[in-house]
Amino acid sequence: MARMSAFRGDLAILIERGGIVMLPLLVLSIISLTLILERTWFWVTIHRPRRRQGLERLNKARRAGDRSRATKLLAADRSPYGLVARRLLEQGVAEAVAIEAVQTQRPKLDRFMVSLSTIITAAPLLGILGTVLGIIQSFNLLGEQQTLTDPRAVSVGIAEALLTTAMGLAIALFTLFPYMMFRAQVERALGRVESIIAAAQQGDAAPAGHERRAGVGAGAQVSSAAEPTMRPAASQRSSASSGPG
């Protein structure tokens, strides 16, 4: 209880020194922290080592054309990777299906990225706004007094005004580094989705190519088997034509 009251007192002093702009800055800091924690949990969950091993087994099964094993591996997978692979398994590997599957899962990967980017841009601007307002108040103080009795009043006002700039820059930096890591995770996830699509297309194309090769081989065998039966018929016709002469 004592700690909570002390925190409230420090918060009130911070707002009093920084001015009204400190309120939106504090709100932005809370939102930023919440979004960073949510995105961190999301990426840790889908990029754990066991998930990577499962994707490797899935791609291996799809390249081999083993649809039953791929279905078993996807039975309990609710990640974006599993949902894309299941869509390709159920609806085929056509380009339109692959694009639709990726676009369906893309919002999960890019979630809150625009919000974090907005915080990175808006926090320093709010800090500068607070500084400008504080400097304006300091100059108003100078204009109201014909003789400045205490110069420290102006310097203290300017120092308090710069507090909002420091706060805005701190929030932006605090958000920037996780934001860049999340961007890297999005690119990594899209690369894995492309590998899932490529493995599925390779596995579905292999049986068709095998059937075509088998058909060509069977046709060659049929033609080679029919050729000996055609040769005696041709020799009989030639002997028949030369006999009466």
The model's pTM? 0.74
pLDDT in tens, 184-201: 999 999 999 999 999 988
pLDDT reported for residue 186: 95
Weakest mean pLDDT among 60-69, 92-101, 207-216? 207-216
Work out whether the CA dihedral 149, 150, 151, 156 comes out positive or negative: negative
Band (174; pLDDT cuts 50, 70, 90):
very high
pLDDT in tens, 96-133: 999 999 999 999 999 999 999 999 999 999 999 988 88
Domain ranges of the chain: 9-236
